[in-house]
Amino acid sequence: MEKLAELCDRLDTVNRTIGRGIAWVSLIMVAVVTVDVILRYLFKITFVFVQELEWHLFGFLFLVGAGYTLLYDSHVRVDVFYQRFSPKTKAWINFLGCLLFLFPGCYLIIATSMTFVANSWSIAEGSPDPGGLPARYVIKAMIPLGFALVAIQGVPMALRSLMVLMGSTETSAKGAKGEH
């Protein structure tokens, strides 16, 4: 069990490190949106590349940050019933949820997005709008990357659930998940 807990902790480190790194992108996004609003409403000036940069940053944050969000169990869900369940029942739900939904869903999105991304890269796709960003293919590449990070985070989630189902009370070699 200790080896499984160590593996889980190592996999957690992947998304924890990435999540902490991309958190700074949210500050950049706030600055870009602020500049856009000031330019648009005070000076009646708009730039296509600024608007596209906003959605590129937003897409990047949410796609690449999804694994980090799963690490801290912060995805939206209806907790009306779940919060009242025993740890074993929660472990069953999480384990089966990973096996039946999370892993197949991530695989499906990664597999189907690869052609989409490859086509975009092959033509060095950029914005169709004059003055737009030149490298749209980069943000499209975040689709399989983001779902790969979610799948990677699903592994420790499934393993920890399995450890609880097998009777383990400690599912982390460190004793805690750490801090955001």
pLDDT for 41: 97
pTM for the full model?
0.90
pLDDT tens-digit series, residues 97-136: 999 999 999 999 999 999 999 999 999 999 999 999 999 9
Q: Indicate whether 34 pLDDT > 90.
A: yes
112: exposed, middle or buried (Cβ count in 10 Å: 0-12, 13-18, 19+) = exposed
As a dihedral over the C-alpha atoms of residue 101, residue 103, residue 104, residue 107, rounded to 10 degrees, the angle is 140
Q: Indicate whether 177 pLDDT > 70.
A: no
- 73 or 92: which leads in pLDDT: 92
**Where in the chain are the domains?**
2-165
